[in-house]
Amino acid sequence: MAAAGCWLLALSLGSAAVQADSHSAAEWSAQATIDYRVVPNIVYKVANGHENKLDVYVPSGRKEPNATVIYIHGGGWVGGTKEASSLQFLPYLQKGLSVVNVEYRLGRISRGPAAVEDCRCALQWVIRNAEKYAFDTSKLIVTGRSAGGHLSLITGMLDPSAGLDRDCSGEETLKVAGIVNWFGITDVGDLLDGVNEKSYAVQWLGSLEDRFEIAKRVSPLTYIRRGLPPVLTIHGDADKTVPYQHAVRLHKALKEKGVENELLTIPGGGHGGFSSAETQKIFTTIDAFLRKHGILAST
C-alpha cells in the first residue's frame, strides 16, 4: 500500500543546482520541464516483519509504456536509504524515463542473501504492475552504486535455479534490458577475508558458518553465461572501497561468454566523488549505451 495520495515533481532541467555524484549532471539533458507524478512508499514485500518499500516516479499523464529505471541504493548492504539516493537518478528523470527507487532489508534486519531476494522481488513487482504505471517491461534498466551496483548486477543476472526468487510470489519471468553498474562488488567472497577484506561485507554476512557459500550464491561472477542483458560498468581504478579488479574480472568474464558489455574506467578515480568532467563523460557514455541497446530512442 502506498502512502496516502501522491505528489507532483516539476523538474527544471537547466538548473545549475541539479547535482549527481556531487557534481552537476544537468548538461546531460536538454533544457525542458517535465512534471512527474510520484507515488512514495509502496510496500512491495513484507519479510521478517519488515515492510520493504519503493517509490514510483512517472511522467504526469503518461499512458504509453515508458522505459523505466530500477534504482537500488548503496551503503555496503548495511547502510543507506532510498531517499538519500534520489539525486543520483535525477538524470534519468531529466530524460523523461520512469524511475522505481527501491529499498531492501539491510544487514541489521536480515543477513545476506536477504537484500538479493528483496531486489528480485522488487523487479517482479515492477513487471507485475507495468500496466498500472506504464512501465515498458521490454525497456527495464537496473542500476545502482557500490552495493547497489552489486544488487543491480545480481538482480539482472541471477539464474532462477539459484533459488533466491522463492520468496517472490508469482510466475513472472524476471528479465531486464540492461544493467548500469557503478563500481559494484562482483565477488562477495573476495571481501570476506584476505587482502581485500572489507568490514561492510563481513558485517553483511556476519559469522554465518556458510558465509562463503552464500557469498558465492550472491556474486555476479557466479552467473556469467550467454544470453545475459548488456552491462555497462563504471569504476575508478583507484577505488579503495570496492577493488577495481572486480570490474576488470566482470568485463573479461562477460566478454568471454559473448555478452555485450562495456567497462568505463575513470583513471585515478575513487569510490565515486568524480569530477564534473568525469561525471559528464559517464552520463554521455550511459546515454550512448542506452541508445545502442534500444532503451532510449536513437537520435
User: In this predicted structure, what is the pLDDT of residue 299?
Assistant: 61
- Cell 531492501 locates to 104
- DSSP assignment letter at 258: T
Mean pLDDT by 10 residues, the chain (299 residues): 49 38 47 84 95 97 95 98 94 96 97 97 97 98 98 96 88 94 98 97 94 97 98 98 98 98 98 96 97 89
User: In this predicted structure, what is the pLDDT of residue 169?
Assistant: 77
What the chain holds in terms of domains, given with CATH numbers, is 7-292 (3.40.50.1820)
CA atoms of 74 and 185, how far apart (whole Å): 11
CA atoms of 104 and 75, how far apart (whole Å): 11
User: In this predicted structure, what is the pLDDT of residue 235?
Assistant: 98
User: In this predicted structure, what is the pLDDT of residue 3?
Assistant: 43
Please calculate the CA angle 37-41-46 and round it to the nearest 5 degrees. 145
For 81-90, write each residue's pLDDT tens digit. Answer: 999 999 999 9
For 252-292, write each residue's pLDDT tens digit. Answer: 999 999 999 999 999 999 999 999 999 999 999 999 999 99
User: In this predicted structure, what is the pLDDT of residue 33?
Assistant: 74
Residue 155 falls in which region: left (phi positive, over 0), alpha (psi -120 to 50) or beta = alpha
The answer to whether the beta carbons of residues 102 and 72 sit under 8 Å apart is yes
CA atoms of 242 and 91, how far apart (whole Å): 24
User: In this predicted structure, what is the pLDDT of residue 196?
Assistant: 97
Enter the pTM of the model: 0.91
The answer to whether the beta carbons of residues 113 and 214 sit under 8 Å apart is yes
User: In this predicted structure, what is the pLDDT of residue 26?
Assistant: 46
- Cell 539491510 locates to 106
CA atoms of 34 and 36, how far apart (whole Å): 6
- DSSP assignment letter at 15: -
User: In this predicted structure, what is the pLDDT of residue 77?
Assistant: 98
